[in-house]
Every structure is written in structure tokens, then in C-alpha cells.
């Protein structure tokens, strides 16, 4: 459990309506429990289509939640328009592609000042905008204020996007694949900036990524998501040193292949969220079942019939896997 939690998500579900008549709803987020503390960086990791963006949007009130609860800074999700406005000031999002996020006809100054104007915070506007840009590594700010997005590099554009969020002094920043559209050479700088801002402002950050290697560099904790659910969560170093869920182990084997770890290729594709398998949602692709280890442990029938819950371990991590409940199971 997170200390001093800023955000508490309890059994959050998001289901998209069927795309065709007679179809089934897509259970894109299917029961997520997650707490994030002030000043903490949590990475939400998982392959494409597992529901990361849907969950991120749900946290920010940009996507309707079909069940469960979200408590932010001690309050349930805002019901009135005024509360929602104040919530949107304190919880900001940064998207993957800074070019798409920035209005090409607005100068850097106008872009960063926009949030202040929307929220009626125009006192000392010039000073506040300047400070936000410099805090985000664009200094001296005067050099950037009158520039337009096309005059900036990709990394500088993402810094402007982040400055536009930071100007409102948010308590929570959600960054959805914040560096995947950037050159490899500037990715580290932007991640370093997010880390610095989290520490200095005591801001909670949820970084959404499909890249476990990226999570490794930045996060205090990593949450591994599979088909709408968190299947493992724990402190970064612990989770990477001793991954417990077979899905985490497979993801990690890809990242560590260059260190001599044998890459585990998962069979098949992640199922569609309109047809989540019964039992453990990962069972059709699980190496433990395929190798016969689950049978040896006597859990194979549970894997196909019983949905494992996310269970806390003594080391503060949590895992949803029947094998980790087995006393004879040795972590890979
Ligand atoms: N508006 C929608 N209507 C129906 N299904 C949707 C809608 N938006 C997303 N989905 C489905 O919900 C699931 C989760 O999508 P989401 O975009 O949240 O995944 P993601 O983990 O962010 O993927 P990526 O890594 O590719 O960005 C996918 O199966 C997707 O096809
Ligand atoms: Mg996404």
C-alpha cells in the first residue's frame, strides 16, 4: 500500500460499448486497484491494447468509469462543474506526440499561458510562464517565448507541453508514452526532467509506457498490466530483480536479452477485451501452463477456472498468479 496516497483507485472498470449490434462490450479496464503517493513515480507497463491509455484517461475524468471508485486528494471524483475545473487544474496529462498537442498558430508564451487563463490565474502571468519554462529546461525563457512549435526540436516541444502542465502546479501528472515519439538522444533528458519535477514539486507521476526498460530508468514502482488488469506491482528494483508473474518475466526477458537472459517468446496475441478468457486471463499464453510446471504444482485446473486476485507479498509487491501462492514455486 502506498504511503500518503494522493490517488486511490479501487476496482476501477471501463467498458466501451459494443462496436456493432449484438457485440459484447470491450472491458478495456477490468478491475484496477492502484494507489499513488505524493512525489512518487509509478510506471504503468504493458503491451499495446492492454488498456493503459483508457485507465490513464479514466483517472483524469476524461473517460467515464463503469464501476469502481477513484479518490483524488481525499475526495471522490468531482461531481460538480466547479469541482471538476479545480480537479483538472491539479491533475494534468502529457501526451505522446508534442507536435499534435501544441497549437501550431500559438507562440510558446500563449501555449504555456493558456492554462493560467482558463483557470483565471493571470496574476504575474509573464513571470509564472517564464519560471515554468525555465523549470522545464528552456532557459533563458526569453529566447523561447515568441517562438512557434515548428521552430523547436521534438524535445523542446515536449518541454513546452510539460511547462504548460506545470504552470498550474498539478499534484498529479499523467504522462502517456511521453518520449516514444522523440529521438532516442533526448528521451533520457525528458525522463530526467519528469523525475526532477516529481521530486521538487512532490508531484505524483503516472508514466504510461509499453517499454519496461524506460520504466526501469524513471519509476519508483512498476505496475504491469495485462488485458485490463494489473497482474504485478512492486518497487522497481525488486520487480526487475525478482519478477514473480510469468508475464512480467517474459517482458523482462526481452529487455535483458542483451545480458544473456533467454528471451521468452509468448505464444499468440493478447486476447480482445470483448472476450476475456475465464480463469486467469493470461492462461492461454502462460509459459507455466505450457511447460507443464503448473500441472506439477497442482494448480493447472485453477489457472483455467479461477481468476487470481492481486495478492500482497511480504516484500510490498503484489502479484495475481496462482503459482505465487504455491509454496513450492521458485521464482525464475
Ligand atoms: N473508443 C473505443 N471503443 C471501443 N474499444 C476501444 C475504444 N478505445 C480503445 N478501445 C479498445 O480498448 C482496449 C484498450 O485500448 P487502450 O488504447 O487503452 O490501450 P493501450 O494499452 O493504451 O494501447 P497502446 O499501447 O497501443 O497505446 C483495446 O483493445 C482497444 O481496441
Ligand atoms: Mg495507449
Please tell me if the CB atom of residue 317 comes closer than 6 angstroms to any atom of ligand 1: no
The residue nearest atom 22 of ligand 1, judged by CA position, is: 53
* Cell triple for 12: 476501477
- Pocket perturbation via mutation, ligand 1, pick of 15, 16, 23, 49 by most ligand atoms within 8 A of CB: 49
Residue 148: CB partners within 8 Å, gap ≥ 6?
A: 104, 105, 106, 107, 108
Ligand closest to 51 (CA) is 1
pLDDT at 98: 86
The closest of 217, 247, 241 to 315, measured between CA atoms, is 241
Give the integer Cα–Cα distance in Å for 178 and 191: 8
Tell me the pLDDT tens digit for each residue of 100-137. 889 999 999 999 999 999 999 878 999 999 999 999 99
- Which stretch of 173-187, 198-212, 280-294, 313-327 has the lowest confidence by average pLDDT? 313-327
- Residue 236 near ligand 1, beta carbon < 6 Å: no
pLDDT 10s digits, 231-245: 999 999 999 999 999
CB-CB contact of 45 with 251 (8 Å): yes
Task: Give the closest residue (by CA) to ligand 1 atom 28.
Answer: 49
**Do 194 and 207 contact (CB within 8 A), yes or no?**
yes
Is any atom of ligand 1 closer than 6 Å to the C-beta of 228? Answer: no
Q: What is the pLDDT, as a whole number, of residue 3?
A: 65
Backbone angles phi, psi at 289, to 5 degrees: -75, -45
Query: Rounded to the nearest whole angstrom, what is the distance from the C-alpha of residue 88 to the centroid of ligand 1?
Result: 23
CA of 143 to the centre of ligand 2 (A): 34
Q: Which ligand is nearest to the CA of 225?
A: 1
pTM of this structure = 0.93
C-beta 49 within 6 A of ligand 1: yes
Ligand 1 binding pocket includes 210 (Cβ within 6 Å) = yes
Question: pLDDT, tens digit, for every residue of 85-108?
Answer: 888 889 999 988 888 889 999 999
- Ligand 1 atom with least separation from CA of 26: 5
Distance 301 CA to ligand 2 centre (A): 33
- CB of 53 sitting under 6 A from ligand 1: yes
Contact 241, 269 (CB under 8 A): no
Amino acid at each position: 500500500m502506498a504511503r500518503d496516497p494522493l490517488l486511490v483507485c479501487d476496482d476501477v472498470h471501463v467498458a466501451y460499448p459494443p462496436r456493432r449490434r449484438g457485440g459484447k462490450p470491450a472491458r478495456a479496464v477490468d478491475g484496477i486497484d492502484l494507489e499513488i503517493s505524493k512525489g512518487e513515480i509509478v510506471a504503468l507497463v504493458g503491451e499495446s491494447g492492454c488498456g493503459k491509455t483508457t485507465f490513464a484517461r479514466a483517472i483524469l475524468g476524461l473517460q467515464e468509469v463503469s464501476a469502481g471508485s477513484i479518490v483524488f486528494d481525499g475526495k471522490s471524483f468531482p461531481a460538480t462543474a466547479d469541482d471538476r475545473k479545480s480537479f483538472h487544474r491539479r491533475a494534468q496529462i502529457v501526451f505522446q506526440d508534442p507536435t499534435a498537442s501544441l497549437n501550431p498558430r500559438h507562440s510558446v508564451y500563449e501555449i504555456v499561458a493558456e492554462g493560467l487563463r482558463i483557470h483565471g490565474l493571470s496574476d504575474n502571468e509573464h513571470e509564472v510562464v517564464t519560471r515554468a519554462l525555465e523549470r522545464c529546461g528552456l532557459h533563458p525563457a526569453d529566447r523561447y517565448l515568441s517562438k512557434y512549435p515548428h521552430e523547436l526540436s521534438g524535445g523542446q516541444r515536449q518541454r513546452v507541453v510539460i511547462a504548460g502542465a506545470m504552470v498550474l502546479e498539478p499534484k498529479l501528472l499523467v504522462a502517456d508514452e511521453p518520449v516514444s515519439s522523440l529521438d532516442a538522444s533526448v528521451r533520457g533528458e525528458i525522463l530526467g526532467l519528469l523525475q526532477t519535477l516529481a521530486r521538487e514539486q512532490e508531484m505524483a507521476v503516472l508514466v504510461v509506457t509499453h517499454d519496461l526498460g524506460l520504466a526501469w530508468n524513471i519509476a519508483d514502482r512498476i505496475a504491469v498490466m495485462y488485458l485490463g488488469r494489473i497482474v504485478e506491482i512492486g518497487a522497481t528494483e525488486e520487480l526487475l530483480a525478482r519478477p514473480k508473474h510469468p508475464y512480467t518475466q517474459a517482458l523482462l526477458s526481452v529487455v535483458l536479452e542483451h545480458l544473456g537472459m533467454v528471451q521468452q517468446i509468448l505464444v499468440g496475441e493478447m486476447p480482445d477485451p470483448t472476450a476475456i478468457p475465464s480463469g486467469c486471463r493470461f492462461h492461454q499464453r502462460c509459459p507455466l501452463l505450457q511447460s507443464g510446471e503448473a500441472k506439477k504444482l497442482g494448480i493447472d485446473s485453477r489457472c483455467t477456472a479461477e481468476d487470481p486476485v492481486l495478492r500482497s507479498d511480504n516484500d510490498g509487491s503484489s502479484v495475481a498468479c496462482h503459482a505465487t501462492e504455491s509454496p513450492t514455486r521458485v521464482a525464475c
